[in-house]
Amino acid sequence: GAGVSQSPSNKVTEKGKDVELRCDPISGHTALYWYRQSLGQGLEFLIYFQGNSAPDKSGLPSDRFSAERTGGSVSTLTIQRTQQEDSAVYLCASSPRSYNEQFFGPGTRLTVL
């Protein structure tokens, strides 16, 4: 079946612009996670959704970052006024429910010039 999909796969933007990243989880998965991974680094947790609510948004680096999930399915991660340090791969993962294995999407590579 279809896995987690993310779009765009690559995004190049200029410093100061806003970007929106999209995640389509596996159908029926109630838990959805966003992570950030810089080159050669580990996984930095950003936010977690259970259904449409976000029990844990403690990982969002600043108020320029926000995320929403509608209909218990698609999620968007928005970064306002992008900075060069925002350049990274943004990974989305979904899970049938919390505590289960996570299925990762291919990621969106964001480059801020």
Partner 1 sequence: GQQVMQIPQYQHVQEGEDFTTYCNSSTTLSNIQWYKQRPGGHPVFLIQLVKSGEVKKQKRLTFQFGEAKKNSSLHITATQTTDVGTYFCARGSTLGRLYFGRGTQLTVWP
Instruction: Give the number of other Cβ atoms within 10 Å of residue 63's Cβ.
Output: 7
| # of chain residues touching partner 1 (CB under 8 A) | 22
Q: Is residue 86 classed as helix, strand or coil in its secondary structure?
A: helix
99 part of the interface to partner 1, by CB under 8 A: yes
Residue (of 91, 85, 89) closest to 103 by Cα position: 91
Residues 12-71, interacting with partner 1 (CB under 8 A): 31, 33, 40-43, 45, 48, 50, 55-56
Structural tokens at position 60: 């969002």
Contacting positions for partner 1 (CB under 8 A): 31, 33, 40-43, 45, 48, 50, 55-56, 91, 93, 98-99, 101-107
